[in-house]
A = this chain, B = another copy of it.
Amino acid sequence: MTLLREAVGQTLRLARSEQSRTLRDVARQARVSLGYLSEVERGQKEASSELLNSICEALGLTLSSVITDVSLEIKARESAKLSVVDAA
C-alpha cells in the first residue's frame, strides 16, 4: 500500500539533498525539532499541515510544487506495484 506520508517524506528528503543541506539546518529554519523532521522524511510520522508548510518554506519551495512532486512519486509507486502484479 502506498502511503502519503512516505511519498511526502521521500520528496522532502530529496529536495533537501538536492540543496546539500543538513537535517539540522532545515529543522532549525523550519522551527521543528531535528527528530521530528527526520521521522517525517523517513515516512514514520505524519507532518501536520502547518509544519509541512514551515518545512516547505525552509526549503524555499511552495507547497504546490512539493505536492506535485509527491503526486508523481505516488504514481510511480502505484505503477511499480501494478508491474509486480502483472509479473506474478
Q: Which of A49, A50, A62 has the most CB of B within 10 A?
A: A49
Interface residues of A in 37-85 (CB under 8 A from B): 46, 48-50, 52-53, 62-64, 67-68, 70-71, 74-75, 78
Count of chain A residues with a beta carbon within 8 Å of a chain B beta carbon: 23
> When chains A and B are docked, how far (Å) is the Cα of A46 from the Cα of B53?
14
Count of chain copies: 2
Give the shortest distance, in Å, between A43 (CB) and chain B (any CB): 8
Give the shortest distance, in Å, between A77 (CB) and chain B (any CB): 8
Q: Across the interface, which residues of B come within 8 angstroms of A78, CB to CB?
A: 62-64
Interface residues of A (CB under 8 A from B): 1-7, 46, 48-50, 52-53, 62-64, 67-68, 70-71, 74-75, 78
